[in-house]
Structure 1
């Protein structure tokens, strides 16, 4: 999983709050969150749920 952080960081100049991938055969889909505190995590999850 470290490779996706390095890839996104090099492509976009930093690490966003959320990185996701859709998975592939034999690989699980994942959503990764990086927040400074629980309030940011709750806000990120609320935003995700609103988009569904």
Structure 2
């Protein structure tokens, strides 16, 4: 039996219900999920930061 590993990369800025749904579904499929958070300087600032 093989060990199944997945990598889920993204800036997650902001994290959404869709992101969480992908992780929840992935937990049922893979033995391990690595969530790789990156910094995307080309992306607009998140709506929360805009409100401030």
TM-score, L = length of structure 2 = 0.28
Q: Which has the higher contact order (CA 8 A, sep 6+)?
A: 2
